[in-house]
Amino acid sequence: MKKVLLILSSIILIIPLVYIGSLVFEKFNYVSSFTDHESKSLNIETNNKQKEMNNFPLFRYNPHAEKLGIIKKENTKCPVCEQEREYVYQGPFYSEDQVEGICPWCIKDGSAAKKYDGEFQDAASCEDVEKEEYLVELTTRTPGYSGWQQERWLSHCGDFCALKGYVGWQEIKPLKEELAKDLDVIKSDYDLTQEQLEEHLVNNGSMQGYLFECLHCGKHRLTVDAD
């Protein structure tokens, strides 16, 4: 009789332990499943971001757009493709519509300019080039840049130059001989002596320089404007 009671007591003690163990195992499986799901979601998000960066558009005439702050890393819902993007264009866009938040992909494929019948660079403020297709690429598929006045785009070797950066005298001093022709035009247009030009031409100052580089021979060109 004592043995029977002992066995029954053992069974009574074991049943709760088994039940508790099953709950712990079930909880562990749930947490593990949830963690795996979160990990997979994170991996998918990371892969999507990496895929977007791998497909990041390159612009022939404005290759440093992100470095120059023309394209910024900032979340946007592009009004053209209606996708959530991590990069947004923050430069001029000439259109009858007020448009903000354009992504660089919709600049590159021309869909932004087509949708709003707009231009990123005023065609009338561009120097001459040999082919009409160069002008189309610049005005409808290339990010523009923001100046104090109407932005100009320089050309050389029959094609548009690439925008290299915003500069002042200190930045272009090593290039003064190469830029001599452009500097003479600037001094004449603004009625400046060489000394005055060196004094007033300051990066992020009231007289701003814009340095371009020929895509074919590498020659540098310069234009400026003032507030």
> What DSSP designation does 123 have?
G
Task: Identify the band that residue 221 occupies on the pLDDT scale cut at 50, 70 and 90.
Answer: very high
Q: Tell me: pLDDT of 23 over 70.
A: no
User: pLDDT: is 215 or 38 the higher one?
Assistant: 215
Residue whose entry in the numeric block shows the structure tokens 């992909």: 105
List the single range of 44-48, 59-63, 74-78, 165-169 with lowest mean pLDDT. 44-48
For residue 63, pLDDT over 50 is answered with: yes
Q: In angstroms, how far is CA 16 from the centroid of its own chain?
A: 61
The pLDDT value given to residue 34:
39
Measured distance between the N- and C-terminal CA atoms of the chain, rounded to whole angstroms: 106
Task: Say what the pTM is.
Answer: 0.77
The number of beta carbons lying within 10 Å of the beta carbon of residue 93 is 21
In tens, the pLDDT along 111-163 reads: 999 999 999 999 999 999 999 999 999 999 999 999 999 999 999 999 999 99
Quick: pLDDT tens for 182-212: 999 999 999 999 999 999 999 999 999 999 9
Q: How many CA atoms lie within 13 A of 44 on its CB side?
A: 6
The domain locations on the chain are 60-146, 154-227
Which token pair is 160? 């548009």
- CB atoms inside a 10 Å sphere around CB 163: 25
Mean of the pLDDT values across residues 19-43? 46
- The pLDDT of residue 53: 54
Does the pLDDT value for residue 42 go beyond 80?
no
pLDDT at 35 > cutoff 60: no
Report the residue count for the chain.
227
Whether the pLDDT of residue 75 is over 60: the answer is yes
Using CA atoms, how far apart are residues 24 and 115, in angstroms rounded to an integer? 58
> DSSP class of residue 49?
H
* Amino acid (one-letter) located at 117: D
